A and B are shown apart, each in its own frame.
Chain A
Amino acid sequence: MNRKSLAIVLLLLALFAATSAFAADAPKKVINYSNGNAPPVLEPIMNNYLEGSYLIYNLYDGLARIGKDGVAELAYAESYTVSDDGLTWTFKIRKGSKFSDGSPLTARDWEASFKHRLSPEVASPGINLYLFVKGAEAYNQGNGKVDDVAFKAIDDNTLEIKLENPTPFFIDVVCYYIPYKMDVVRKDPEWFKKPATYIGNGAFRVKSLNPQTGFVLEKNPHYYDAANVKIDEVNFNFIDDDAVALEAYRKGELNVNDSINSEGMSAFKDSKELVTFPRIGTTYISLQTGNIKDARVRRAMSLALDRKAIINILGMPYIPAQGLVPYGIHWGNKEFREVAGNLIKTDVAEAKKLLAEAGHPDGKGLPTFRIITMNVQEDTDNAQAWQSMWKQIGINSEIATYESSVYWDLIDPGEWEAARDGWTGDYDDPKTNLFLWMAYREGPEKDVRWYDTPNAKEFDRLMRAADAELDSEKRMNLFKEAERVILEDMPVIPLWHGVEPILIKPEVTGMVKSNIGHVYFQYADVK
């Protein structure tokens, strides 16, 4: 190459570099996020795990959605009416709604999607929230017809839903009623494995995916509220090891880290980057009422526990439990917890007195209780704390640890006295935290699992009365009474109410975690 042509080539190169620098768009707004392990299930219809929901509800929106302030607001439904008996809900679907591939999304798509999810052949474990709908349970369990499931598209923009019971919190529930592109779902069983067929209707859509390492989400241009979504891309990383995620966050490879271990908690304790959101969950100890028959013994076990001390040992910012219903559940405009008051206290002297009244002064005559727990550090530390606190009032116990899959199998047959357990609700209503102890699961004649005492019947009666009650004040009072009855009986010892800690770099604003722990990127911005 002679000198002249070399000069021309260099000139061209320089020109190219200059123009591309000018042509470059505004920098992309990207969130690099991790919430730990890959979700066990990546198929939206089959998902029943929290980890999967984190991803899915950024790709799909329901009739309603979780708004900026964490409270449900209308989304694909622009308005709704409720019949006087509270049973028939009619939603007006936004005209011009589209799936993320630009195809139209009508009331008929919503109806078909809900019915598909309930079909017994699909065998989806994630149908809990669909059982409020008339005919849903019967059809799902093979005792009814699909035509009797009360989802009905009146026309392209009107969807009518009939319920089993008046359900005042139904707007919270329809946040999780999401539509699928049914012609694709039916034709291609592999649809959720490829970005091109992974069609949703949320603020983001799938750009690429790897079931082991994570998803890349991009802004969905067909989203009805796309004008207000500022983030261009979300790298949703699966990182198994919390320590690795913490280092990646420190180094800036992540700007939002949602899998914090106690090391991360203590390192960022005083930092503004550590943000905590309330979570409507309670962690508790389940007691085997068949083995510890006297309610006074069970109450004594609760009184002996110093919850603040336990939480300090674990190093997590939990809130000491004041009942089974956590903060974040509302009674009108107030917190349910504040109206219902604190039902839990610590009082070693009274615990000893109760034990003596029950005929076991200083624990005399009681067998060694078996505590079962999972082989996770937090859970074993937790169990050791109970063990030593119960020892103070004379109750001896031994701890057996199991890996999680064995643990959940053991908890049903009940070869134990105390087991760590917990539950995070699905909607803003006390029922979401209290329904677990109802007898409904196996028909009214059979009590649920290990809660089987004479008072359980009274609890069940109150819960059912609340279900049928239309007046919201009376309904809340029934829940308050139900909670009091069950805690008098103490088949469970509430330990703490959950919080959701998350690390967010200062340049990221507007991150939302809902009261059930789901994370939302659509209101965020990166400076």
Chain B
Amino acid sequence: MAKYILKRLAAAGISMLVLVTATFFLMHAVPGSPFSPGEQRNVPPKVLENLRSKYGLDLPVWKQYLNYMDNLFHGNLGYSFKKLNYTVNELITSGFPASAVVGALAILFALAVGIPLGITSALKRGGWMDWFSMILATVGISMPIFIIAILLMFVFSMKLQILPIYGYGTASHLVIPVICLAFSPIAYITRLMRSSMLEVLRQDYIRSTRARGVPELMVIAKHGVRNSILPVVTYIGPLIAILLTGSFVVERLFMIPGIGRYFVTAVSERDYSVILGITIFYGAFIMLCTLLVDVAYAIIDPRVKFTD
């Protein structure tokens, strides 16, 4: 298993290299730059030149790339071009905790609601619970997150006045963002759980377990859930990466100080180092999560073996 993990890490390293290189050159190919003379009009051209050379933007692109890679291997993501005198490392470490708290709560909430909902609708197929979960899933998958966010804001903050409109810091600030982020994962998890549960319930071993007189609760909890949860685990890997690294829409609407907000503003401002830094962070996170999921398979499903 150790060998398998090492091999996967090596592959991840190569993917990262490709990711960084592609992002770097694509970014520089897009028109627009961090210090445009048109925007900074009251600035004498010479001052802009000083600024560009301070940030190494006066060098040819390939040299900028080599410098960047050199810094990257020393764990340094460089300075932000727009939040002057802030490093990208700083922006990520200051933004990640907030994104991670909201994301982790959303994942837990999604699992806590999605799995039981999926199981009950599989057990009572065609019942009202099944219909309810079906409606919820369709709504959750098809409705964009900002509509859900604004609806929840309208109902809970403005009409009922029980939750704050925006901000971060207390538990009440987290309620609406977490529900928003969890909404579509709940829908997916419910559908995944339901269909794989139905599949498992049809298996012979379930019938024989029941025949041996094992209590129904044990049949479902021990044999049913354990065997049907694999698709959900697969889905959770990338989901963790997506939710923990922050959602732009939710962070912007609710003013959560996470990294999702930095990312999109960085793209429109051509803040090269922030774009790259967050891409790298995000890429590494996704690779790590998928690796963890693969390891988790082996623990849940004894049939999975790591071969070299």
- A: residues with CB less than 8 A from B are 40-43, 46, 48, 120, 123-125, 127-128, 131, 137, 140-142, 189, 192-193, 210-213, 237-241, 244, 247-248, 250-251, 253, 403-412, 423, 426, 436, 441-442
Contact = CB atoms under 8 A, between A and B. Distances in A.
Contact of A403 (B167, B253, B258, B268): B268
A212 B261 contact: yes
10 contacts: A41-B82, A123-B51, A137-B44, A140-B46, A211-B91, A212-B95, A241-B253, A251-B165, A409-B31, A412-B36
Contacts of B205: none
A212 B36 contact: no
Contact of B157 (A43, A142, A213, A247): A247
Interface in B250-307: 252-255, 257-258, 261-262, 268-270
Given A42-B83, A253-B164, A141 B38 contact: no
B221 interface: no
The B contact surface, by secondary structure, is loop
B290 to A, nearest CB: 29
Given A211-B83, A240-B261, A405 B158 contact: no
Nearest to B154: A247
Contacts of A442: 45
B39 interface: yes
A48 B43 CA distance: 9
B38 A409 contact: yes
A411 B37 CA distance: 9
Contact of A238 (B161, B253, B254, B255): B255
Nearest to B257: A212
Given A123-B51, A244-B166, A46 B85 contact: yes
Given A241-B252, A244-B253, A404-B268, A125 B51 contact: yes
B38 A247 contact: no
Contacts of A408: 32, 36-39
B47 A213 contact: no
A253 B158 CA distance: 11
B40 interface: yes
Interface in B159-175: 161, 164-168
B227 interface: no
A210 B39 contact: no
Contacts of A436: 41
Given A240-B252, A411-B38, A41 B83 contact: yes
Nearest to A411: B38
B42 interface: yes
Interface in B14-55: 31-34, 36-48, 50-51, 54
B165 A409 contact: no
Given A41-B83, A212-B95, A240-B253, 13 more contacts: A123-B50, A141-B44, A142-B46, A193-B86, A210-B94, A211-B83, A211-B94, A240-B252, A253-B166, A405-B34, A409-B36, A409-B38, A412-B38
B32 A406 contact: yes
- Ordered nearest first, which 9 A-B pairs have the shortest CB separation? A408-B38, A212-B257, A408-B36, A405-B32, A408-B39, A411-B38, A406-B32, A123-B50, A128-B42
A210 B32 contact: no
A441 B83 contact: no
A128 B42 CA distance: 6
Contact of A247 (B32, B47, B48, B158): B158
A412 B37 contact: yes
Given A247-B158, A442-B45, A405 B268 contact: yes
Contacts of B51: 123, 125
Nearest to A407: B38
A251 B161 contact: yes
B31 A247 contact: no
Contacts of A189: 85
B153 interface: yes
B41 A239 contact: no
B84 interface: yes
Contacts of A124: 47
A240 B251 CA distance: 10
Nearest to A432: B42
A140 B262 CA distance: 32
A165 B89 CA distance: 45
Contacts of A210: 94, 257
Contacts of A120: 50
Given A240-B255, A244-B253, A404-B268, A211 B86 contact: yes
Contacts of A405: 32-34, 36, 39, 268-270
A41 B39 CA distance: 14
Nearest to A248: B165
A370 B43 CA distance: 27
A405 B271 CA distance: 10
A253 B253 contact: no
B254 to A, nearest CB: 8
B255 A140 contact: no
A27 to B, nearest CB: 21
In this complex, the member of B39, B47, B83 whose beta carbon has the largest number of chain A beta carbons within 10 angstroms is B47
B54 to A, nearest CB: 5
B257 A213 contact: yes
A436 B167 CA distance: 41
B51 to A, nearest CB: 5
A77 to B, nearest CB: 25
In this complex, the member of B37, B54, B85, B268 whose beta carbon has the largest number of chain A beta carbons within 10 angstroms is B85
In this complex, the member of A43, A131, A441 whose beta carbon has the largest number of chain B beta carbons within 10 angstroms is A441
Contacts of A125: 40, 43, 47-48, 51
Contact of B41 (A403, A410, A423): A423
Contact of A239 (B38, B40, B91, B255): B255
Contact of B82 (A40, A131, A141): A40
Contacts of B33: 405, 409
Contact of A244 (B39, B46, B48, B255): B255
